[in-house]
């Protein structure tokens, strides 16, 4: 009996000792892999990347993993804090720099062949003889016409460092002509158009806030003032912003000494208040600012300064709603981070930054909710109340509401017009007209001469016939009557831009059917 008990005890002791040894080994292994982490010093992120490098089963792409980790981390902040790899950083800087390396043309691709719309004055292409209306066939030996060549790839092939050569082969009439062009620095204009609407009313359209924006706007506005302008309609619709300092300089031109333009503040940025210094040359000019749902950032700083100081009226639709200030940080591998460091506030103290939820679907939601078509559908934060200098109520959050709301006009969108838009029929017809009359169109440099030329075109007969023959689009008499008030100005604008008048001609002829501009003019 005692022998049996001893045998049982031996078995039990063996099991216990074995369990203890196993537990010790497990704990040893766990302790080997237990890494102490703290969130406060980013230690966990560094350790994870280090563990992957030392233990992962396959070879890893360290560059790709690092970039992915950075992108994921910044995505937890706000929509405008972003990582920019070298190629993207270069492109973003070039877009706002005010110049780039290239050959100096603006082109469009209405039908699988790029057509030159503008040859930049003084640029490499003008010096060798390229003209508006030329069709781009080849870049060096690469065929780019009629082969569905991607437009962004086309741009990359044409652009290149200053001093390098490229051969552009164009079709001009029946001829194919090669041009050897030495690339150079090409100015990028932020002012799309500036001209007089009447004897006393000027119009200026600003496309973006680049490094040259203030100088361009200042020069253009003073020129209009010399031509008799007493009131300026300043158009920043669809202007997505850019450099903040240019918005400050631009606002300073129109505001009185001591007027607040904007102030910025962040957790690690003390409040900075920017005021007008009274040196502006356009303080005596009446002002109306046109804004839209795509007016953002620097354009909202300008619009907010004008509205809150009661310097002029805002006309259009609620702006985008970007009230954040970014600062760039650069790395030695030519990549960088654009990081939000502060919020900006309009003179009345409102931050117009919209919520981050569904950020990039917000504009779409405005269409769905009917805001684009009715002021009654606009969702304002009526709890965030501020007042302009004269005591008018304005609201913070979600963009800037204009003083005069103008809904989007969809009443003229006939079936014929929509069908033409789908196939870019208007643009290709304009190119066809240029081919027929290039010798007459190219030299035109005044609106009076352009009016005389356009008067000889029987658009009512010719355009529907061309649309039927080339695109198979039929147009009844009733559809033409419905479409013509909107379509004819567009056709004239597209044809006129091939002349020396360029983009000024496009906007001059197109704007008469612009309901927002019409509302602004009615206020005068």
Q: What is the mean pLDDT of residues 109-129?
A: 81
Q: What is the distance between the alpha carbons of residues 517 and 375, in angstroms, rounded to a whole number?
A: 17
3-state DSSP: the chain helix, strand, coil percent, rounded to 5? 40, 20, 35
pLDDT tens digits for range 432-483: 898 899 889 989 999 999 999 999 999 999 999 999 999 999 999 998 998 9
Whether 73 has a pLDDT exceeding 70, the answer reads: yes
SS3 label, residue 61:
coil
Whether 21 has a pLDDT exceeding 60, the answer reads: no
Higher pLDDT, residue 81 or 9: 81
| Domain limits, CATH 2.30.42.10, in the chain | 99-187
pLDDT tens digits for range 37-50: 566 667 888 888 88
Q: Are residues 444 and 500 in contact, defined by beta-carbon separation less than 8 angstroms?
A: yes
pLDDT tens digits for range 350-389: 999 999 988 878 988 998 999 999 998 998 888 999 999 9
Closest alpha carbon to 403 in 389, 392, 418: 392
Whether 16 has a pLDDT exceeding 90, the answer reads: no
Q: What is the mean pLDDT of residues 293-301?
A: 96
Question: Please, which pLDDT band fits residue 148 given cuts at 50, 70 and 90?
Answer: confident
Q: What class, spelled out in words, does domain 99-187 have in CATH?
A: mainly beta
Q: What is the distance between the alpha carbons of residues 201 and 233, in angstroms, rounded to a whole number?
A: 7
Distances (CA, A) of 495 to 113, 454, 456, 506: 17, 9, 13, 8
Q: What is the mean pLDDT of residues 123-146?
A: 87
Higher pLDDT, residue 4 or 257: 257
Whether 219 has a pLDDT exceeding 90, the answer reads: yes
pLDDT tens digits for range 76-106: 999 999 998 887 777 776 666 656 788 888 8
Q: What is the distance between the alpha carbons of residues 134 and 498, in angstroms, rounded to a whole number?
A: 10
Closest alpha carbon to 301 in 363, 220, 241, 233: 241
- State the SS3 of 250-314: HHHCCCCCCCEEEEEEECCEEEEEEECCCCCCCCCCEEEEEECCCCCCHHHHHHHHHHHCCCCEE
When mean pLDDT is compared across 213-227, 417-431, 506-520, the lowest value belongs to 417-431
* pLDDT confidence of residue 35: 52
* pLDDT confidence of residue 475: 92
Q: What is the distance between the alpha carbons of residues 505 and 385, in angstroms, rounded to a whole number?
A: 42
pTM for the model = 0.83
Q: Are residues 102 and 155 in contact, defined by beta-carbon separation less than 8 angstroms?
A: no
Q: What is the distance between the alpha carbons of residues 3 and 509, in angstroms, rounded to a whole number?
A: 114
Counting DSSP H helices and E strands in the chain, the numbers are 17, 21
Whether 278 has a pLDDT exceeding 90, the answer reads: yes
Closest alpha carbon to 225 in 243, 205, 202, 247: 202
Question: Please, which pLDDT band fits residue 3 given cuts at 50, 70 and 90?
Answer: low
Q: What is the distance between the alpha carbons of residues 113 and 111, in angstroms, rounded to a whole number?
A: 5
Whether 410 has a pLDDT exceeding 80, the answer reads: no
Q: What is the mean pLDDT of residues 501-512?
A: 92
* pLDDT confidence of residue 519: 96
Q: Are residues 348 and 308 in contact, defined by beta-carbon separation less than 8 angstroms?
A: yes
Whether 413 has a pLDDT exceeding 80, the answer reads: no
Q: What is the mean pLDDT of residues 206-212?
A: 92
For the CA atoms of 249, 389, 301, 328, the dihedral, rounded to the nearest 10 degrees, stands at 80
* pLDDT confidence of residue 25: 47
Whether 13 has a pLDDT exceeding 60, the answer reads: no
* Residues across the chain: 524
When mean pLDDT is compared across 89-98, 120-129, 484-493, the lowest value belongs to 89-98
Closest alpha carbon to 388 in 278, 303, 502, 479: 303
- CB-based contacts of 384, cutoff 8 Å, min separation 6: 350, 395, 396, 397
For the CA atoms of 195, 200, 201, 207, the dihedral, rounded to the nearest 10 degrees, stands at 40
- State the SS3 of 450-470: HHHHHCCCCHHHHHHHHHHHH
Q: Are residues 326 and 338 in contact, defined by beta-carbon separation less than 8 angstroms?
A: yes
Distances (CA, A) of 100 to 84, 91, 160, 185, 354: 19, 10, 9, 5, 33
Higher pLDDT, residue 11 or 114: 114
- DSSP H helices, 337-398, are 362-369
Tokens of 478: 């009733």
Q: What class, spelled out in words, does domain 191-325+342-405 have in CATH?
A: alpha beta
Q: Which of 108-115's residues contact partners 24+ apart within 8 Å by CB, and which partners? A: 108/427, 109/151, 109/154, 110/424, 110/427, 110/428, 110/431, 111/424, 111/428, 112/145, 112/146, 112/147, 112/148, 113/137, 113/145, 113/146, 114/144, 114/145, 114/151, 114/154, 115/431
Residue 107 is given by DSSP the state E
| Longest Cα–Cα distance in the chain | 127
Whether 135 has a pLDDT exceeding 80, the answer reads: yes
Return the sign of the alpha-carbon dihedral for residues 358, 361, 364, 366. Answer: positive
Q: What percent of the chain has pLDDT over 70?
A: 90
Whether 28 has a pLDDT exceeding 50, the answer reads: no
β-bridge partners, 30: none
Q: What is the distance between the alpha carbons of residues 414 and 286, in angstroms, rounded to a whole number?
A: 37
| Domain limits, CATH 3.90.226.10, in the chain | 191-325+342-405
Whether 113 has a pLDDT exceeding 90, the answer reads: no
* pLDDT confidence of residue 45: 83
Closest alpha carbon to 251 in 292, 272, 279, 210: 279
Write phi, then psi, for 68 (nearest 5 degrees): -65, -40
Residues serving a catalytic function are 297, 308, 322
pLDDT tens digits for range 55-64: 999 999 988 8
Q: Are residues 335 and 85 in contact, defined by beta-carbon separation less than 8 angstroms?
A: yes
């Amino acid at each position: 009996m005692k022998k049996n008990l001893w045998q049982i005890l031996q078995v039990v002791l063996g099991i216990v000792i074995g369990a203890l040894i196993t537990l010790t080994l497990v704990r040893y292994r766990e302790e080997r892999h237990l890494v102490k982490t703290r969130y406060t010093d980013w230690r966990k992120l560094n350790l994870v990347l280090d563990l992957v490098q030392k233990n992962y089963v396959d070879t890893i792409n360290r560059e790709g993993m690092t970039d992915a980790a950075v992108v994921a981390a910044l995505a937890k902040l706000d929509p405008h804090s972003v990582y920019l790899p070298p190629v993207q950083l270069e492109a973003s800087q070039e877009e706002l720099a005010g110049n780039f390396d290239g050959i100096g043309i603006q082109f469009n691709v209405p039908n699988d062949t790029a057509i030159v719309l503008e040859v930049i004055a003084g640029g490499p292409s003008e010096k060798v003889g390229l003209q508006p209306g030329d069709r781009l066939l080849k870049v060096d030996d690469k065929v780019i016409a009629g082969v569905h060549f991607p437009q962004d790839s086309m741009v990359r092939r044409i652009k290149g460092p200053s001093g390098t050569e490229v051969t552009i082969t164009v079709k001009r009439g029946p001829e194919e002509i090669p041009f050897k062009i030495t690339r150079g620095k090409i100015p990028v204009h932020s002012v799309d158009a500036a001209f007089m609407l009447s004897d006393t009313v000027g119009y200026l359209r600003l496309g973006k806030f680049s490094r040259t924006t203030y100088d361009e706007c200042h020069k253009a506005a003073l020129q209009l003032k010399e031509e008799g302008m007493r009131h300026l309609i300043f158009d920043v619709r669809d202007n997505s912003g850019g450099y903040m300092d240019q918005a400050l300089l631009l606002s300073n031109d129109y505001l009185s000494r001591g007027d607040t333009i904007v102030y910025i503040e962040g957790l690690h940025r003390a409040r900075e208040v920017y005021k007008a210094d009274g040196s502006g040359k356009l303080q005596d000019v009446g002002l109306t600012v046109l804004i839209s749902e795509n007016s953002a950032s620097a354009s909202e700083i300008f619009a907010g300064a004008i509205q809150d100081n009661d310097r002029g009226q805002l006309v259009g639709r609620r702006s985008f709603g970007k009230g954040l200030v970014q600062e760039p940080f650069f790395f030695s591998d030519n990549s960088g981070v654009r990081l939000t460091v502060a919020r900006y506030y309009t003179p009345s103290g409102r931050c117009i930054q919209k919520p981050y939820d569904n950020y990039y679907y917000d504009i779409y939601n405005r269409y769905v909710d009917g805001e684009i078509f009715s002021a009654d559908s606009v969702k304002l934060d009526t709890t965030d109340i501020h007042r302009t200098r004269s005591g008018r109520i304005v609201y913070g959050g979600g963009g800037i509401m204009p003083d005069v709301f103008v809904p989007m006009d969809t009443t003229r969108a006939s079936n014929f017009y929509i069908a033409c838009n789908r196939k870019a029929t208007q643009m290709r017809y304009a190119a066809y007209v240029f081919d027929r009359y290039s010798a007459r169109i190219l030299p035109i440099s005044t609106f009076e001469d352009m009016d005389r030329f356009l008067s000889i075109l029987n658009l009512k007969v010719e355009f529907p016939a061309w649309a039927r023959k080339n695109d198979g689009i039929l147009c009844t008499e009733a559809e033409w009557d419905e479409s013509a008030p909107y379509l004819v100005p567009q056709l004239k604008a597209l044809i006129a831009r091939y002349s020396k008048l360029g983009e000024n001609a496009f906007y001059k002829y197109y704007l008469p059917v612009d309901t927002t501009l019409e509302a602004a003019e009615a206020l005068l």
